[in-house]
């Protein structure tokens, strides 16, 4: 946790529950209790009987067999047989309790939703890369892959507005059409029972199959007809496809003998939804794409009407799927696809990517990285958090009240907190406020409970001591900056009114006054221009979807990524790419970039800019780019500057590379 103080009573915190080493070994160690002892059903020796807090180094030992809880101040007796483990553990501020093997068989469900309304080359590239990654995954797991526990379903959208649920037995495949009254009526009213009955009528397994059968179905996918006409966009019922995917997962999760909670819906979209629930755009080409100026006119126009109804549909779909399925989204489209409306489904997902095409190398790298992350040993599921506070804390504001159900990169999870206490300077050391986080999650077929207890202690220099074992060299001003941006992104993504995304003043009006005051007094002087020019406050020249993409990226990025998203870092590449020297972000460095006398790498988080010395015959970037693109997720774009900083570039880059 990084903590900063804005006044005598308010603490702004960035809590990173998995920033420390992921110490989840099953053997007894200094961070856990032996399994044979801690699974005792009669009493948990480490837990307060009154408030459910876990004892820690701030608990007072009253007698050899009693402890006083710092949260409720009640005294709890401890069984003598457990005293040894209790007294050993209360000296730790953070530890992990293994709750034991999950009783049911852990299984994975994955639904692929593929938009076939694209050209043949695009679809073939998508199929080829998807099949390649599925085969690699199957080969890598070998005998450890239980095909009955790893099931897949395939749904495709067609240009005639139909949705097809595929199965290896072609006779069992089923097609839903938005032209059908019942399909339209029941999907808009979220009647799951109607669709479950229709699906199970032909197939009791709900169209889930093993990898081999899935690959056969992928190979058989074809584009259904021409993409568009001159006057009409295709009938793309993407909202219905997501709804049916949720129905499939929900039905199979009702199985009593198998735990199907680790489920994912991975969607590949090539254009906006134009038909059925979730529609974001008219089929008529004469109606322009949505821009910010469309929202300044008549409030009764069709664009605003579609936006509100679609947002309501996707919000309701999120409520039905929360805790059951994680959503991933890959987009190959230069158009707006309605990500603003769909943002509730993906607000906690780091797997949201947009590409110019599925045929490019960036998509290949990103998809490969996603497959590696989805099933690696660090992925955690069903993540929930509970906070406990002492009476000295008068308010605790948790911006994301519902945490991720699936976290592919736990170390990147950063949660903004606002803690308001009484005047801690007048308290004695024994009365200093402390806060305890109790995080439950699943990993590798086991349940875990991670306990982190942190004091809000003031030292002589009026800086809060950070006992979260975090080695990041971050000052209080930077913490305020990151808290500021994290809280903004959470406010926007969790907003119930999508039109608020178009009101920059809404941001200022809904954040803490102390932050606003600091922002207005230019305390963030080195970042001031970049914050104002970022899509948080500047909507000029960008679409609603692009702005929402940026906010989603900030919400799901770690601290280092956020700083680069606002203010890129410059590196001079030396010694044929074996050495990177960071440059100061000043006028001299920018002049150096424009002169193109050196090999410069511009790291903007979601993009990597390359400025290459035209006289250098050796390409110094290959190994560096391979390392960055393979390790970083989301995968950054690579932008080549053909003429210093005046050539083609990312649309946000000009406002980032200014002093």
Asked whether residue 377 carries a pLDDT value surpassing 60, the answer given is yes
Q: Rounded distance, CA 440 to CA 448, Å?
A: 6
For the domain bounded by 105-374, which CATH number is listed?
Answer: 3.40.50.410
Q: Rounded distance, CA 153 to CA 227, Å?
A: 25
Q: Are 329 and 353 in contact (CB under 8 A)?
A: yes
CA 643 to chain CA mean position, Å: 36
Domain ranges of the chain: 2-101+379-455, 105-374, 476-565, 568-656
**How confident is the model at residue 396, as a pLDDT?**
79
**How confident is the model at residue 225, as a pLDDT?**
59
**How confident is the model at residue 576, as a pLDDT?**
75
Q: Are 125 and 359 in contact (CB under 8 A)?
A: yes
CA 555 to chain CA mean position, Å: 7
**How confident is the model at residue 649, as a pLDDT?**
45
Q: Rounded distance, CA 441 to CA 410, Å?
A: 11
pLDDT band at 616 (very low <50, low <70, confident <90, very high): confident
**How confident is the model at residue 367, as a pLDDT?**
94
Mean of pLDDT values over 335-347: 87
Strands annotated E in 253-308? 258-269
Does the domain spanning 568-656 belong to CATH 3.90.1690?
Answer: no
**How confident is the model at residue 487, as a pLDDT?**
80
Which residue, among 227, 246, 233, 255, has the nearest Cα to 155 in the 3D structure? 246
Buried residues in 177-189 as b, exposed as e (16+ CB within 10 A): bbeeeebbebbbe
**How confident is the model at residue 7, as a pLDDT?**
47
**How confident is the model at residue 358, as a pLDDT?**
95
Asked whether residue 460 carries a pLDDT value surpassing 90, the answer given is no
Highest mean pLDDT among 29-43, 348-362, 370-384: 348-362
**How confident is the model at residue 574, as a pLDDT?**
83
Domains 105-374 and 568-656 share a fold: no
Buried residues in 14-39 as b, exposed as e (16+ CB within 10 A): bbbbbbbeeebeeeeeebbbeeeebe
Task: Give SS3 for 623.
Answer: helix
Asked whether residue 267 carries a pLDDT value surpassing 90, the answer given is yes
pLDDT by residue (tens digit) across 565-578?
888 888 988 877 77
Q: Are 656 and 593 in contact (CB under 8 A)?
A: no
End-to-end CA distance of the chain: 31
Please report where in the chains the tokens 């605790």 appear, as a residue. Answer: 396
Among 349-353, 426-430, 497-501, the minimum mean pLDDT is found in: 426-430
**How confident is the model at residue 49, as a pLDDT?**
80
**How confident is the model at residue 294, as a pLDDT?**
58
Q: Rounded distance, CA 143 to CA 151, Å?
A: 16
Q: What are the phi and psi torsion angles at 199 (to 5°)?
A: -75, -50
If 0-12 CB within 10 Å is exposed, 13-18 middle and 19+ buried, where does residue 83 land?
middle
Mean of pLDDT values over 376-388: 82
Q: Are 458 and 10 in contact (CB under 8 A)?
A: no
Asked whether residue 5 carries a pLDDT value surpassing 60, the answer given is no
**How confident is the model at residue 495, as a pLDDT?**
67
Q: Are 272 and 191 in contact (CB under 8 A)?
A: no
**How confident is the model at residue 335, as a pLDDT?**
74
pLDDT by residue (tens digit) across 77-133?
776 545 554 455 555 566 677 766 555 445 778 999 999 999 999 999 999 999 999
Other Cβ atoms within 10 Å of 315 Cβ, number: 16
How would you classify the pairing of strands 10-15 and 60-63? unpaired
Which residue, among 130, 128, 113, 139, has the nearest Cα to 207 in the 3D structure? 113
pLDDT by residue (tens digit) across 17-73?
887 543 333 222 333 333 333 343 334 457 788 888 888 777 777 766 788 888 888
Q: Rounded distance, CA 345 to CA 314, Å?
A: 7
Q: Are 77 and 65 in contact (CB under 8 A)?
A: yes
Q: Rounded distance, CA 328 to CA 499, Å?
A: 24
Among 90-99, 183-192, 233-242, 359-368, the minimum mean pLDDT is found in: 90-99
Please report where in the chains the tokens 């995304």 appear, as a residue. Answer: 501
pLDDT by residue (tens digit) across 525-565?
677 777 777 887 777 777 788 888 888 898 888 878 888 88
Q: Are 244 and 204 in contact (CB under 8 A)?
A: no
| Overall residue count recorded for the chain in this entry | 659
**How confident is the model at residue 48, as a pLDDT?**
82
Q: Rounded distance, CA 401 to CA 398, Å?
A: 6
Question: What percentage of the chain reaches a pLDDT higher than 70?
Answer: 69
Mean of pLDDT values over 296-324: 77
Q: Are 168 and 213 in contact (CB under 8 A)?
A: yes
Here the tokens at position 575 are 């010694």
Q: Rounded distance, CA 520 to CA 548, Å?
A: 24
**How confident is the model at residue 293, as a pLDDT?**
55
DSSP string, 351-378: -EEEES-TTSHHHHHHHHHHHHHHTSTT
Q: With residue 316 as reference, give the H or E element that holds it.
A: helix 302-321
Q: With residue 555 as reference, give the H or E element that holds it.
A: helix 544-555
**How confident is the model at residue 273, as a pLDDT?**
93
Q: Rounded distance, CA 180 to CA 177, Å?
A: 6
Asked whether residue 637 carries a pLDDT value surpassing 80, the answer given is yes
Packing angle between helix 181-188 and helix 238-253, nearest 10 degrees? 70
Q: Rounded distance, CA 284 to CA 232, Å?
A: 5
Mean of pLDDT values over 623-635: 85
Other Cβ atoms within 10 Å of 165 Cβ, number: 26
**How confident is the model at residue 140, as a pLDDT?**
74
**How confident is the model at residue 176, as a pLDDT?**
95
Other Cβ atoms within 10 Å of 249 Cβ, number: 24
Q: Are 637 and 362 in contact (CB under 8 A)?
A: yes
Buried residues in 580-597 as b, exposed as e (16+ CB within 10 A): beebebeeebbebbbebe
Mean of pLDDT values over 161-189: 89
Which residue, among 440, 469, 439, 441, has the nearest Cα to 454 in the 3D structure? 469
Dihedral over alpha carbons 452, 456, 462, 465 (to 10 degrees): -20
Asked whether residue 171 carries a pLDDT value surpassing 60, the answer given is yes
pLDDT band at 655 (very low <50, low <70, confident <90, very high): low
pLDDT by residue (tens digit) across 210-255?
899 999 999 999 886 555 567 788 899 999 999 999 999 888 876 6
Q: Are 122 and 187 in contact (CB under 8 A)?
A: no
pLDDT band at 190 (very low <50, low <70, confident <90, very high): very high
pLDDT band at 640 (very low <50, low <70, confident <90, very high): confident
Please report where in the chains the tokens 């579609």 appear, as a residue. Answer: 306
Q: Rounded distance, CA 590 to CA 23, Å?
A: 43
Q: What are the phi and psi torsion angles at 598 (to 5°)?
A: -135, 170
pLDDT by residue (tens digit) across 412-446?
888 888 888 876 555 444 567 788 888 888 887 77
Mean of pLDDT values over 450-468: 54
Packing angle between helix 120-141 and helix 211-219, nearest 10 degrees? 170
**How confident is the model at residue 68, as a pLDDT?**
83
Which residue, among 173, 165, 238, 231, has the nearest Cα to 202 in the 3D structure? 173
**How confident is the model at residue 485, as a pLDDT?**
82
How would you classify the pairing of strands 380-389 and 406-407? antiparallel
Sign of CA pseudo-dihedral 136, 139, 142, 145: positive
CA triple 531-537-540, angle to 5 deg: 115
Helix %, strand %, coil % for the chain, to 5? 35, 25, 40
**How confident is the model at residue 464, as a pLDDT?**
34
């Amino acid at each position: 946790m990084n903590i900063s103080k804005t006044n005598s009573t308010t603490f702004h915190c960035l809590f990173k529950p998995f920033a420390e080493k992921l110490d989840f070994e099953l053997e007894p160690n200094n961070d856990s209790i032996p399994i044979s002892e801690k699974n005792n059903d009669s009493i948990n020796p480490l837990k307060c009987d009154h408030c459910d807090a876990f004892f820690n180094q701030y608990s007072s030992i009253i007698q050899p067999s009693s402890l006083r809880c710092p949260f409720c101040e009640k005294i709890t007796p401890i069984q003598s047989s457990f005293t040894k483990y209790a007294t050993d553990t209360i000296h730790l501020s953070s530890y992990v309790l293994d709750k034991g093997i999950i009783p049911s068989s852990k299984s994975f469900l994955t639904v692929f939703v593929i938009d076939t309304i694209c050209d043949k080359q695009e679809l073939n590239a998508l199929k080829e890369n998807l099949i390649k990654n599925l085969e690699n995954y199957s080969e890598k797991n070998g005998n450890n892959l239980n095909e009955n526990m790893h099931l897949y379903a395939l749904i495709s959208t067609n240009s005639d507005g139909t949705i097809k649920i595929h199965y290896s037995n072609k006779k069992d495949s089923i097609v839903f059409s938005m032209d059908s009254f019942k399909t339209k009526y029941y999907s808009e009213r979220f009647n799951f029972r109607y669709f479950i009955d229709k699906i199970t009528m032909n197939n009791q397994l709900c169209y889930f199959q093993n990898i081999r059968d899935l690959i056969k179905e992928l190979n058989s996918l074809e584009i259904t007809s021409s993409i568009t006409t001159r006057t009409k966009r295709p009938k793309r019922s993407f909202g219905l496809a997501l709804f049916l995917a949720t129905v499939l997962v929900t039905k199979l999760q009702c199985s009593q003998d198998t735990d199907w909670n680790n489920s994912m819906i991975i969607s590949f979209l090539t254009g906006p939804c134009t038909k059925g629930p979730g529609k974001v755009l008219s089929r008529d080409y004469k109606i322009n794409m949505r821009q910010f100026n469309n929202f300044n006119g008549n409030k009764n126009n069709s664009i605003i009407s579609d936006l509100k109804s679609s947002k309501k549909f996707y919000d309701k779909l999120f409520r039905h799927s929360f805790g059951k399925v994680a959503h991933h989204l890959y987009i190959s489209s230069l158009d707006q696809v309605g990500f603003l409306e769909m943002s509730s489904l993906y607000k906690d997902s780091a797997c949201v990517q947009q590409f110019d095409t599925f045929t490019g190398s960036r998509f290949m790298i990103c998809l490969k990285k996603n497959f590696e992350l989805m099933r690696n040993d660090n992925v955690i599921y069903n993540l929930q958090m509970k906070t406990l506070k002492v009476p000295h804390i008068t308010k605790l504001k948790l911006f994301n009240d519902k945490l991720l159900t699936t976290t592919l990169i736990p170390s990147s999870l950063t949660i903004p907190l606002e803690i308001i206490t009484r005047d801690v300077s007048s308290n004695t050391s024994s009365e200093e406020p402390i806060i305890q986080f109790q995080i439950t999650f699943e990993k590798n077929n086991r349940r875990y409970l991670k306990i982190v207890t942190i004091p809000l202690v003031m030292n002589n220099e009026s800086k809060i001591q950070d006992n979260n074992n975090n080695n990041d060299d971050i000052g209080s001003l930077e913490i305020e900056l990151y808290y500021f941006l994290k809280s903004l992104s959470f406010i926007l993504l969790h907003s119930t009114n999508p039109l608020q995304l178009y009101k920059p003043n809404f941001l200022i009006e809904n954040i803490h006054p102390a932050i606003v005051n600091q922002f207005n007094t230019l305390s963030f002087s080195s970042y001031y221009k970049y914050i104002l020019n970022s899509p948080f406050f500047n909507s000029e020249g960008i679409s609603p979807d692009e702005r929402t993409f940026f906010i989603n990226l900030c919400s799901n990025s770690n601290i280092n990524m956020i700083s680069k998203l606002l203010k890129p870092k410059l590196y001079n590449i030396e010694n044929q790419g074996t050495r990177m020297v960071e440059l100061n972000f000043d006028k001299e460095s920018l002049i150096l970039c424009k002169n193109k006398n050196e090999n410069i790498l511009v790291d903007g988080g979601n993009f990597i800019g390359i400025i290459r010395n035209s006289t250098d015959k050796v390409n110094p970037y290959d190994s560096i780019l391979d390392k960055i693109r393979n390790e970083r997720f989301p995968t950054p774009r690579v932008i080549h500057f053909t003429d210093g900083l005046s050539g083609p570039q990312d649309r946000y880059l000009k406002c980032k590379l200014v002093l």
